[in-house]
Amino acid sequence: MNKVLVVLVALLALAGPGTPALAQQVASLEPVRVVIAPPRSEIARTIKADLSAAYYGARADTQAHAEAQRLYFLYGERHFEPIWLSQAGSGTGFSPAAQKIVTLFRDAAAEGLRPEDYLTPDIDLARARGDASAMAALETAFSRATMRYAHHIHNGRIKPQSISEMLDIQPKPIDEAALLERLARSDDPAAILGELQPRHPEFLALRKALAEFDDSAARPAPIGNGPVLRPGHSDPRVPLIRERLKLTASASGTYDELTVSAVRNFQQSQGLEVDGIIGPATIAAFNGGGATRRQDIIANMERWRWMPSELGDFAVMVNIPEFRLAVLREGREEYATRVVVGTTKHQTPIFSDAIRHLVVNPYWNVPTSITRSEIAPAVLRNPAYTDNQNMDLLYNGTVVSPWQVDWSQVSAGNFPFRVRQRPGAGNALGQIKFLFPNKHDVYLHDTPSKGLFSRSQRAFSHGCIRVENPMEFAEALMANEADISRASLEKLFGPSERWVNPKTRIPVHLVYFTLRVDADGTIRSFGDIYGHNEALIAALGLETAPVPAIVAEAEQVPGDLSP
């Protein structure tokens, strides 16, 4: 087979004899040709043996197994010759490129990473010098550390799904062979690795904020969660709120007019509902800015690394903790509106997709989960429920009358019907929905429940995203479509469902940032409504003092079955 082997053959050769299970597993894979060139020097033979032992000794489905497999093929393409070790007058040492990468490892904390993840105990040149086996192990350990660093700055340290299954985010690929070769030949490996960093202005601003963060500075005590505070009420948090607003100190817990006026000004400056009512969103804003923790900065930098490298020249971003949707053109906000998102029980998933369809006068095809948990019990209590809600019962795709069903033979757990709500004024999706087909069956849509948009905390849906001004959003969304406008969409209003298909798919990003950075560098903080931020801080191993919760579970809205 000369220098080029099929990956299946290489896998079996590495595994050794007596591995029929592996043979059966790989036999179903599409063969991929890789170069496995024979070693031509003593250190190359030692490197090959070391990589083979590491691969064979690692347990399948582990990070060590994946790293060993990748490195075996990477080095196999170059006769297993070292990349990072070079001959000097006094013997073998790190190459200039490797020495510069070591400096990056030492400075990893400035990137929100941990130096000890890369400067591991097995990267010890002094201890390995003079021992061929130890030098080979050092070579491969350095490559593992370099690839680990590359993946961390490109995709983050933590797998999103380990935080929550609602974080449906896939890692961005890296051509590791090409990257290693470029790094080894480069006079500036830091610049090459820097290409893998997010380039979004908010990420860069957070990195700057991390560099300037002063742990020794006195920071305001966080204001804890509590009941919604209205003018005239009393609350033990009021003196702390006055202090945050730089008002005259007072021990009184009464929320007086002077404080209400200052709160209104603060709410306006933060883009909040200017109502003088102190709810979770206002508390979160109080706890932002100067009260931002180092851990919050690093966690939000990590989430930026989870994002696609390119958001799209024209895209939609919905930030769940902010309850806000924005249309972006070349990174600049062109339109924004409020949204309602999923409750903590029915969370809105986090992922990226593309809007492909607009549906005017939509049917609402009720998800099975809502049918079983809420609609089926209601129908069993009162068969007229579906008619009262302008809904159809469907059996095998055919509409059936609830009065033709023997309900004594049906239970909520064995409900054989699909349910849909017909277009109309009371339809849960309102007059229009914006589709980006996905496995979560979530989308953006209008809603008849307009009163919820006036609330500062807007987590009320079953997971879909309700848009406050859907026709304004439609107009902004169709700005690049010559044949689609708000007027043309409104002409379709009526009793029948109508689909409109833009020529261009529009990227949509459902994101979860608890810190946002304005153009002037101001950091704004938002509540961790699903707990993803604190879970990520824990997974990152960042020390944190207990902070009072700033967002409570959204209250239930009676009769609200909307997605």
Question: Which pLDDT value is given to residue 10?
Answer: 42
Instruction: Provide the mean pLDDT of the chain.
Output: 86
Among the options 151, 346, 464, 509, which is catalytic? 464
Q: Has residue 250 got a pLDDT over 90?
A: no
Q: Looking up tokens 């390995």, which residue turns up?
A: 128
Among the options 445, 462, 509, 532, which is catalytic? 445
Q: Which residues pair with 332 in a beta bridge?
A: 329
Q: Which residues pair with 5 in a beta bridge?
A: 34
The model's pLDDT over 373-422, given as tens digits with 9 standing for 90+, comes to 889 999 999 999 999 999 999 999 899 999 999 988 888 888 999 999 99
pTM for the structure as a whole: 0.82
Q: What are phi and psi of 324, to 5 degrees?
A: -145, 140
Dihedral sign (CA 18, 24, 25, 30): positive
Beta strand 332-342 with 364-365 is unpaired
- Give 414 or 486, the one with higher predicted confidence: 486
Question: Which residues are CB-neighbours of 175 under 8 A, at least 6 positions away?
Answer: none
The model's pLDDT over 201-245, given as tens digits with 9 standing for 90+, comes to 999 999 999 999 877 665 677 788 788 899 999 999 999 999 888
Q: In the numeric block, which tokens belong to residue 337?
A: 């509106």
What is the pLDDT confidence band of residue 550, given thresholds at 50, 70 and 90?
very low
Q: Has residue 9 got a pLDDT over 50?
A: no
Question: Which pLDDT value is given to residue 25?
Answer: 42
Q: How far apart are the first and last CA of the chain?
A: 58
Q: Which helix (H) or strand (E) holds 204?
A: helix 201-212
Q: Which helix (H) or strand (E) holds 432?
A: strand 432-435
Instruction: Determine how many CB atoms are found less than 10 A away from the CB of residue 483.
Output: 9
Question: Which pLDDT value is given to residue 557?
Answer: 54
Phi and psi based region of residue 521 (left: phi greater than 0; alpha: psi -120 to 50; beta: remaining): left
What is the pLDDT confidence band of residue 17, given thresholds at 50, 70 and 90?
very low
Verify whether residue 357 is a known catalytic residue: no
Instruction: Determine how many CB atoms are found less than 10 A away from the CB of residue 86.
Output: 13
The model's pLDDT over 290-313, given as tens digits with 9 standing for 90+, comes to 557 899 999 999 999 999 999 999
Question: Which pLDDT value is given to residue 279?
Answer: 84
Q: Angle at Cα 191 formed by Cα 188 and Cα 195, nearest 5°?
A: 150
Beta strand 314-319 with 506-511 is parallel
Q: In the numeric block, which tokens belong to residue 548?
A: 């009072």
Q: Which residues pair with 316 in a beta bridge?
A: 327, 508
Rg, Å, the chain Cα set:
29
Structural domains of the chain, ranges and CATH numbers in brackets: 32-198 (no CATH), 307-363+423-539 (2.40.440.10), 365-420 (no CATH)
Beta strand 465-467 with 498-500 is unpaired
CA–CA distance, 349 with 347 (Å, rounded to integer): 6
Q: In the numeric block, which tokens belong to residue 484?
A: 């689609």
Q: Which helix (H) or strand (E) holds 525?
A: strand 523-525
Instruction: Determine how many CB atoms are found less than 10 A away from the CB of residue 344.
Output: 13
What is the pLDDT confidence band of residue 50, given thresholds at 50, 70 and 90?
confident
Verify whether residue 445 is a known catalytic residue: yes
Q: Which runs of consecutive H residues, i.e. helices, occur in 4-122?
A: 7-15, 20-27, 42-57, 63-76, 96-106
What is the pLDDT confidence band of residue 90, given thresholds at 50, 70 and 90?
low
Q: In the numeric block, which tokens belong to residue 122?
A: 């097995």
